[in-house]
Structure 1
Amino acid sequence: MKKYLIIFLALSLASTAQTTEPEKKDKKTNVFTDAGDAAKIVIAKQKMYAGDFVGAINTYREVEKNNPKNATVLYYIGFCHFNLKQNDKAKEYLLKSIEANATEKPEAHITLGRIYHAESNFDKAIEEISAFKSAANTDKESNEDADLYLKQAQNAKAMTTAPLNVTVENLGTGINSKYNDKNPCLTADGSKLVFTTNRPEGTNAVVDIEGDGKYFEDIYIAGYDSATKNFAKAAEVPGSVNTKAHDAVSSISPDGKQIFIYKNDIKDKESRGGDIFISKINNGKWKTPEPIGKPVASSYWEGGACISPDGKKLFFFSERDGGMGRSDIYMVEKINKKEYGKPVNLGPTVNTSYDEAGMFLAPDGKTLFFCSDGPGSMGSYDVFKTVFENGKWTAPVNVGYPINSIGKEGQLTLSADAKYAYISSDRAGGLGESDIYKIDLKDYAILEKDGKKIKSNGLSILKGTVRDGYEGYGLPDVEVVLADASGAQVASTTTNENGEYFFTLKGGNYKLTINKKGFKQISEEIVLKISDKETVSLEKGYLLKK
């Protein structure tokens, strides 16, 4: 979707509206003898298509007084209640529509099926959607929707009968609110949790009048308290990140030094329509975000990005031309600190004709988690997993229930030791629209194909600073290479502008080599331990001399 066509698209990871077009064209049997009722139907439809479901219901109800058995009017009233999440009232009117004339608005069966799905009554959901598919004279697009909802209902039924051995816990009021809390992003050491919220607590709390009518999104952060073993109460990220428009975090780098931000400000030409920005931390405060620029940025919508642990690859999602569907996942390699190569679509194995969004690249650098609302989900958006093996991405698999639910899941983020994860979801029982949950994975190896842990599949952290041996300042662009016992290179990176390097890798014996033109090379044997109880972090600093 081109940016100049967009007023606002929420990050959710690339969220799409729940509303679906209720009909293509009313049947000729829908004739209202009262001219006033016929005019009101036109007005009600205009309100409905504009998203004013309350107004549409009020107008339809006026028509209902003279046409209490009109299946089309009853269907539209039910459809509007459904989009207001008033499912009991929606069900009442949809059943009335079917009773009045079962063939006039067969779409009622789809909407009714979706309500039963939301109530976890999967057999009834399957029955109603199948009834629509059996109806005569249904259009192709509606049949495609029915196929999707039917498959999702079948998935939900199967997955809920075979739950994973995990525990899902709401993070509570220290993190969540009655508003929309989503996009959890965790540093590799688990010390910081960054997320997006539209709670009106900040100094820039403004309502998005031209968009969804809710408060604009801001970015919040919480630090981990090792004494209480919980995150402290979340607060706005310090610095110059949040504005009076949409600011949403899509990821934080493993070392916690930079965050990738989705910005959407109709008054700002650089972020109008949705684009990716980067903010870096300096002396405890986050600097003003800078646009990521081309070729990642385009004239189309880009909704978020994440970087590989070695800092060499960037994954992002975009609606640019040439994709498989609405929003697709792309990968681009970094040429240097400021330049990127040509973005590559991950292809039809990963991307579909539906939405792909909400990415997280695991600390192992090869397992990509993302959200999709396609036929593989339990309903709405689910989290899927694909692994880069033998030079290609594996077919994505649904990570299962209860990590996913029949609600809408946002992105998942994983600790370096793979013992726990965080996810956003609007599942039943939350504090607000969408909440952030912690997933205990100690009895389920999420990075393994079969979920069974042969040995510790977590990673450890190696980090440090390379400094000038005479002046003491951090040296940027220093090459840091790790090799295994056989001499084969297993990881490499370059230091940032402060001379810092960061690795996440399995525990073991390594040879670390440091190179920078004009300085003497340093080589050292490193023993990186690993623990089943916590993420091991080893910090090593070096002085380079000429």
Structure 2
Amino acid sequence: MNALASLVALAVAVAGLLGGDASREALALDPHAERFAPGIASTRYSEIRLTLSPDGRTALWFSRDRPGGEGGHDIWVSHLQHGQWSAARPVPFNAPGRDFDPAFTADGRFVLFCSDRPGGLGGDDLYRVPVQGLQFGAVEHLGSAVNSPANEFAPMLAPDGGTLLFSSDRAGGAGGHDLYVARVDDGQLQPARPVAGAVNTAAQEFDATFLGDGRTIVFARAQDFGSSRVEQFAARAFGDRYAPGMRLPAPVNDGASDSYGAMLDWSRPGTLTYSARRGDGASLDLYRVSYRLPPSLSIPGPPVRR
């Protein structure tokens, strides 16, 4: 049996919105995930939200507790050289506070990230930094169209560059952190609004990524950040609305430990990265897993009106 035949099917919930048969819509996951760069990126410390450049030669992630950074949460980088990942080092645009949730854009020209550095609107805000080869440019605040006095997490620009996806615990949502989108018109971010449909609940929804079709999202959900397990879900837009999402199976969720920090791998079509506690459960490691959209999800649907 080949790897494709052994993919595990996950039903993506659509019945709650459309009254249809959810079992006919599926996202398939390879049953085996690859631990990314053991000893370099995945270590005894917690590493979260792996993002890879489109050419596959630069990897970024963040750590809450890895020594050697500016302090607090720091973003780390490694480069693929002669088939091996280089020793990880903190990126030069880290600040003394919290810098986290990096995400390359599809063209590799920018890295989006979160920070509580001075000069924002309050809490954790969304920023971007240009990338030129192996160098990073000047950090830019993404502005009040998407940032607020509350906290914004996990920015991700859709594959076509037309929509920014992130989460926020600002007032006006369904409760806790909710998923938001902001349209990009002529290079300018438009005011953000909650993702339409049933995906946002009274729980915490965060750490979302578009998949390669630009319509399916994978995101994390927890009833409470401090006391409940964090698991990952998938949902797809039908028209302009997202279904509540259905829990992903193994290897992404194992039923016993936290899993979050999903990100589309720009360097490998049909691949998702994520963070999870495995083994001794002491820290979060970085993983890659292949996914496949079934034919019914691969056929373009009506445009998502945002």
| TM-score calculated relative to the size of structure 2 | 0.77
| 8 Å CA contact retained: 1:274, 1:303 | yes
**Structure 1 residue 283, shift from structure 2 partner:** 5.2
Aligned-partner Cα distance in 2 for 1:182–1:322: 28
- Partner SS, residue 334 of structure 1: strand
Structure 1 residues 164 and 316, CA gap change in structure 2 (3 angstroms): closer
- Residue 207 of structure 2 corresponds to which residue in structure 1? 358
- CA distance in 2: counterparts of 1:292 and 1:369, whole angstroms: 23
1:428 maps to amino acid: G
**How far off is 1:272 after superposition?**
4.3
For residues 98-118 of structure 1, give each alpha carbon's deviation from its aligned partner in whole angstroms, at most 9, with x where no partner exists: xxxxxxxxxxxxxxxxxxxxx
Residue in 1 that maps onto 2:220: 371
The separation in 2 between residues aligned to 1:449 and 1:234, in whole angstroms, is 39
Tell whether 2:121 aligns with 1:255. no
SS in 2 for 1:223: strand
- Counterpart CA distance in 1 for 2:29 and 2:147 is 39
Residue 407 of structure 1 and its aligned partner are, at CA, apart by 1.0
Question: Shift of residue 271 of structure 1?
Answer: 6.1
Closer, same or farther in 2 for the Cα pair 1:165/1:314, shift >3 Å? Answer: closer
Structure 1: give runs of 5+ residues left out of the alignment.
1-162, 207-215, 452-456, 458-489, 491-546
Q: Which residue of 2 aligns with 1:306?
A: 156
Q: What residue is the counterpart of 1:278 in the other structure? A: 128
- Match among 299, 320, 326 for residue 176 of structure 2: 326
Q: Which residue of 2 aligns with 1:218?
A: 74
Match of 1:288 among 138, 162, 178: 138
Question: Secondary structure of the equivalent of 2:95?
Answer: coil
Deviation at 1:173, TM superposition (A): 0.5
2:95 is the counterpart of 1:243: yes
Work out whether residues 197 and 242 of structure 2, in 8 Å CA contact, stay in contact via their aligned partners in 1: no
Say if 1:284 and 1:352 are closer, same or farther in 2 by CA, change over 3 A: same
Task: Please state if 1:407 is matched with 2:272.
Answer: no
Pick one of 223, 232, 244 that aligns with 1:383. Answer: 232
Larger radius of gyration between Structure 1 and Structure 2: 1
- The within-5 A match list for 1:525-540 is none
Give the counterpart letter for 1:447 in structure 2: L
Instruction: Choose the corresponding residue for 1:169, options 27, 31, 34.
Output: 34
Q: In 2 relative to 1, CA 269–189 (structure 1 residues): closer, same or farther, beyond 3 Å? A: closer
* In structure 1, distance between residues paired with 2:270 and 2:179: 26
Alpha-carbon shift at residue 450 of structure 1 (Å):
9.1
Pick closer, same or farther for the CA change 1:419–1:283 going to 2, 3 Å.
closer
Paired AA for residue 235 in structure 1? R
Residue in structure 2 matched with residue 58 of structure 1 by the alignment = none
Contact kept in structure 2, 1:194 and 1:220, CA below 8 Å: yes
The number of equivalent residue pairs is 265
Deviation at 1:363, TM superposition (A): 2.5
Q: Is the 8 A contact 2:169 2:178 kept in 1?
A: yes
CA distance in 2 between counterparts of 1:218 and 1:193 reads 14
**What is the letter of the counterpart of residue 200 of structure 1?**
P
Q: Deviations over 1:274-303 (max 9, x none)?
A: 111111123532123221111111122212
The percent identity for this pair of structures is 20
Residues 122 and 148, structure 2, Cα contact 8 Å, conserved in 1: no
The residue identity in structure 2 corresponding to 1:253 is T
Matched-pair contact (CA < 8 Å) for 1:420–1:438: yes
Cα deviations by residue, 1:292-342 (Å, 9 ceiling, x for unpaired): 1111111222123111122111112111111001000111111232x3223
Q: Give the distance between the partners of 2:79 and 2:279, measured in 1 at CA.
A: 27
More strand per residue: 1 or 2? 2
C-alpha displacement at 1:384, in angstroms?
Answer: 1.1
What SS is found at the alignment partner of 1:273?
coil
Q: Give distance in 1, aligned partners of 2:294 and 2:171.
A: 35
Distance across 1 between alignment mates of 2:257 and 2:161: 33
Amino acid at match of 1:234: A
Question: 2:62 aligned to 187, 192, 196, which one?
Answer: 196
Shift of 1:418: 4.1
Matched, 1:397 2:229: no
Of 234, 241, 246, 2:88 maps to 234
Contact preservation (8 Å) 1:264, 1:271: no
Instruction: Evaluate the alpha carbon distance shift between residue 284 and residue 415 of structure 1 in structure 2; reply closer, same or farther with a 3 A threshold.
Output: closer
Kept after mapping to 1: 8 A contact 2:197/2:244: no
Question: Aligned-pair RMSD on alpha carbons?
Answer: 2.8
SS at match of 1:221: strand
**SS class of match (1:323):** coil
Which of the residues 272, 280, 287 maps onto 1:429? 280
CA distance change for structure 1 residues 359 and 164 in 2, over 3 Å: closer, same or farther? closer
8 Å contact from structure 2 (residues 232, 248) kept in 1 = yes
What is the CA-CA distance between 1:196 and the residue it aligns to? 0.2
Structure 1 residue 411 displacement after superposition: 1.7
Q: In the aligned structure 1, how far is the partner of 2:197 from the partner of 2:125?
A: 24
- Equivalent residue letter for 1:242: N
1:448 — aligned with what? 294
Q: Is 1:352–1:374's contact at 8 Å kept on the other side of the alignment?
A: no
> Is it true that 1:178 corresponds to 2:28 in the alignment?
no
Q: How far does the alpha carbon of each residue in 1:386-435 deviate from its partner, in whole angstroms, 9 at most, with x for none?
A: 112333323312121221122111222233554543211123336x5211
TM-aligned CA deviation for residue 195 of structure 1: 0.3
* Alignment partners' CA distance in 2, 1:450 and 1:164: 16
**Change over 3 Å in CA distance of 1:429–1:420 after alignment to 2:** farther
Q: Secondary structure at the match of 2:189?
A: coil
Provide the C-alpha distance between the structure 1 equivalents of 2:265 and 2:152, rounded to a whole number of angstroms. 26
Distance 1:261 1:292 in 2: 10
